[in-house]
Amino acid sequence: MKSLFLIITLYGTFIYGSPHLDEKQQFWEMLSYLRSSPSNKWCIMGDSDIVVALDDKLGGSPFDLDKTRFYLDFIDCSSLVEIHIKGGSFTWYNHRKDGDTILEKLDIILSSIAWSISFPKAFGVMDVDIASDHSLIFLLLHGIHNRRVNSTSRVRNNQGEWLEHDPSIASYF
Protein backbone atom coordinates (compact mmCIF):
# COMPACT_ATOMS: atom_id res chain seq x y z
CA MET A 1 0.00 0.00 0.00
CA LYS A 2 1.38 3.35 -1.01
CA SER A 3 1.08 6.43 1.12
CA LEU A 4 1.06 9.83 -0.43
CA PHE A 5 2.15 12.80 1.58
CA LEU A 6 1.86 16.36 0.44
CA ILE A 7 4.46 18.57 2.03
CA ILE A 8 3.78 22.28 1.88
CA THR A 9 6.26 24.77 3.24
CA LEU A 10 4.66 27.85 4.76
CA TYR A 11 6.49 30.84 6.17
CA GLY A 12 5.04 32.97 8.94
CA THR A 13 6.44 36.14 10.42
CA PHE A 14 5.01 37.87 13.47
CA ILE A 15 5.94 41.53 13.69
CA TYR A 16 6.06 44.38 16.16
CA GLY A 17 6.80 47.54 14.17
CA SER A 18 8.86 50.25 15.76
CA PRO A 19 6.92 53.26 17.06
CA HIS A 20 9.95 55.48 16.33
CA LEU A 21 9.94 57.17 12.92
CA ASP A 22 13.72 56.98 12.53
CA GLU A 23 13.60 53.14 12.95
CA LYS A 24 10.65 52.44 10.63
CA GLN A 25 12.67 52.40 7.38
CA GLN A 26 15.25 50.01 8.83
CA PHE A 27 12.49 47.73 10.18
CA TRP A 28 10.72 47.35 6.81
CA GLU A 29 14.01 46.97 4.91
CA MET A 30 15.12 44.19 7.28
CA LEU A 31 11.77 42.47 6.90
CA SER A 32 12.09 42.60 3.10
CA TYR A 33 15.24 40.44 3.33
CA LEU A 34 13.10 37.60 4.68
CA ARG A 35 11.26 37.49 1.36
CA SER A 36 13.47 35.06 -0.51
CA SER A 37 11.21 34.15 -3.45
CA PRO A 38 7.83 35.28 -4.83
CA SER A 39 6.79 31.63 -5.00
CA ASN A 40 7.18 31.19 -1.22
CA LYS A 41 3.98 30.98 0.79
CA TRP A 42 4.59 33.77 3.30
CA CYS A 43 2.23 35.37 5.80
CA ILE A 44 3.02 38.35 8.03
CA MET A 45 0.89 39.23 11.03
CA GLY A 46 1.11 41.73 13.83
CA ASP A 47 1.52 45.35 14.83
CA SER A 48 2.81 47.38 11.88
CA ASP A 49 2.67 50.63 13.86
CA ILE A 50 1.70 52.31 10.58
CA VAL A 51 -1.55 54.09 9.77
CA VAL A 52 -1.93 53.52 6.03
CA ALA A 53 -5.05 55.52 5.19
CA LEU A 54 -7.00 58.49 6.51
CA ASP A 55 -9.91 56.19 7.48
CA ASP A 56 -7.54 54.08 9.63
CA LYS A 57 -7.17 56.84 12.24
CA LEU A 58 -9.50 58.74 14.54
CA GLY A 59 -8.16 61.44 16.88
CA GLY A 60 -4.63 62.50 17.76
CA SER A 61 -2.21 64.08 15.32
CA PRO A 62 -3.29 64.37 11.67
CA PHE A 63 -2.75 61.47 9.27
CA ASP A 64 0.64 61.77 7.52
CA LEU A 65 1.04 59.90 4.22
CA ASP A 66 4.83 60.38 4.32
CA LYS A 67 5.04 58.08 7.38
CA THR A 68 3.61 55.20 5.30
CA ARG A 69 6.22 55.38 2.52
CA PHE A 70 8.51 52.57 3.79
CA TYR A 71 5.57 50.29 4.56
CA LEU A 72 3.92 50.78 1.16
CA ASP A 73 7.28 50.28 -0.61
CA PHE A 74 7.76 47.04 1.34
CA ILE A 75 4.31 45.72 0.32
CA ASP A 76 4.86 46.69 -3.31
CA CYS A 77 8.39 45.28 -3.63
CA SER A 78 7.41 42.08 -1.80
CA SER A 79 4.21 41.60 -3.87
CA LEU A 80 2.04 41.20 -0.77
CA VAL A 81 -1.72 41.48 -0.36
CA GLU A 82 -3.72 42.36 2.73
CA ILE A 83 -5.89 39.73 4.39
CA HIS A 84 -9.13 41.31 5.61
CA ILE A 85 -9.69 41.52 9.39
CA LYS A 86 -13.34 41.34 10.49
CA GLY A 87 -14.69 42.74 13.71
CA GLY A 88 -13.99 46.47 13.64
CA SER A 89 -12.20 49.31 11.93
CA PHE A 90 -9.52 49.97 14.54
CA THR A 91 -7.13 47.54 16.22
CA TRP A 92 -5.51 49.89 18.74
CA TYR A 93 -6.67 52.59 21.12
CA ASN A 94 -4.99 54.64 23.82
CA HIS A 95 -7.56 54.16 26.65
CA ARG A 96 -7.81 57.93 27.22
CA LYS A 97 -11.01 59.79 27.95
CA ASP A 98 -12.12 63.44 27.81
CA GLY A 99 -11.61 63.98 24.07
CA ASP A 100 -8.06 62.61 23.97
CA THR A 101 -9.09 59.20 22.63
CA ILE A 102 -7.08 57.93 19.67
CA LEU A 103 -8.18 54.94 17.58
CA GLU A 104 -5.96 53.45 14.85
CA LYS A 105 -5.71 50.41 12.62
CA LEU A 106 -2.16 49.27 13.30
CA ASP A 107 -2.42 45.48 13.27
CA ILE A 108 -2.26 43.74 9.91
CA ILE A 109 -2.22 40.41 8.13
CA LEU A 110 -0.33 40.34 4.83
CA SER A 111 0.43 37.42 2.56
CA SER A 112 2.21 36.55 -0.63
CA ILE A 113 0.11 35.74 -3.68
CA ALA A 114 1.19 32.09 -3.41
CA TRP A 115 -0.01 31.96 0.21
CA SER A 116 -3.34 33.59 -0.74
CA ILE A 117 -3.88 31.03 -3.49
CA SER A 118 -3.34 28.22 -0.97
CA PHE A 119 -5.78 29.81 1.50
CA PRO A 120 -8.31 31.78 -0.59
CA LYS A 121 -10.93 31.87 2.20
CA ALA A 122 -8.55 33.08 4.93
CA PHE A 123 -9.43 36.12 6.99
CA GLY A 124 -8.67 37.67 10.36
CA VAL A 125 -11.04 38.02 13.28
CA MET A 126 -10.60 40.75 15.86
CA ASP A 127 -11.62 40.39 19.50
CA VAL A 128 -11.67 43.74 21.28
CA ASP A 129 -12.64 42.49 24.74
CA ILE A 130 -9.16 42.24 26.26
CA ALA A 131 -7.22 44.40 28.69
CA SER A 132 -4.66 45.62 26.18
CA ASP A 133 -4.31 48.62 23.91
CA HIS A 134 -4.28 46.24 20.89
CA SER A 135 -7.13 43.99 19.84
CA LEU A 136 -6.47 40.27 19.71
CA ILE A 137 -6.32 39.06 16.08
CA PHE A 138 -6.94 35.46 15.01
CA LEU A 139 -6.11 34.18 11.53
CA LEU A 140 -8.68 31.71 10.18
CA LEU A 141 -7.46 29.75 7.18
CA HIS A 142 -10.64 28.02 6.08
CA GLY A 143 -13.07 30.91 6.23
CA ILE A 144 -15.09 29.30 9.03
CA HIS A 145 -16.08 31.45 11.98
CA ASN A 146 -19.31 30.86 13.78
CA ARG A 147 -18.51 31.49 17.42
CA ARG A 148 -17.26 34.44 19.39
CA VAL A 149 -13.78 34.28 20.90
CA ASN A 150 -14.53 34.04 24.62
CA SER A 151 -15.81 30.74 25.93
CA THR A 152 -14.40 27.61 27.46
CA SER A 153 -10.63 27.47 27.74
CA ARG A 154 -7.96 29.91 28.79
CA VAL A 155 -4.60 31.04 27.42
CA ARG A 156 -2.10 33.62 28.60
CA ASN A 157 -1.35 36.77 26.63
CA ASN A 158 2.17 38.19 26.30
CA GLN A 159 1.80 40.03 29.65
CA GLY A 160 0.99 36.75 31.44
CA GLU A 161 -2.69 37.63 31.92
CA TRP A 162 -5.33 34.95 31.42
CA LEU A 163 -7.61 35.35 28.40
CA GLU A 164 -10.73 33.38 27.59
CA HIS A 165 -10.90 31.86 24.10
CA ASP A 166 -12.85 29.36 22.05
CA PRO A 167 -10.78 26.20 21.43
CA SER A 168 -12.60 25.49 18.17
CA ILE A 169 -10.91 28.47 16.55
CA ALA A 170 -7.44 27.00 17.09
CA SER A 171 -8.44 24.01 14.97
CA TYR A 172 -8.79 26.28 11.97
CA PHE A 173 -5.16 27.44 11.94
| Residue 135 contacts residue 162 (beta carbons within 8 Å) | no
**What is the C-alpha separation between 28 and 155, in angstroms, rounded?**
30
On the question of pLDDT at 150 being above 80, the answer is: no
On the question of pLDDT at 122 being above 90, the answer is: yes
Q: pLDDT above 90 covers what percent of the chain?
A: 36
Q: What is the CATH number of domain 10-145?
A: 3.60.10.10
Average pLDDT, the chain: 79
| Residue 43 contacts residue 141 (beta carbons within 8 Å) | no
Instruction: Give the pLDDT band of residue 159 (cuts 50, 70, 90).
Output: very low
Strands 41-47 and 10-16: parallel
Instruction: Give the pLDDT band of residue 36 (cuts 50, 70, 90).
Output: low
Residues 6+ apart with CB under 8 A from 147: 166, 168, 169
Q: Where are the chain's structural domains?
A: 10-145
**What is the C-alpha separation between 145 and 39, in angstroms, rounded?**
28
| Residue 84 contacts residue 123 (beta carbons within 8 Å) | yes
The one-character DSSP state at 173 is -
What's the rounded mean pLDDT across residues 97-125? 91
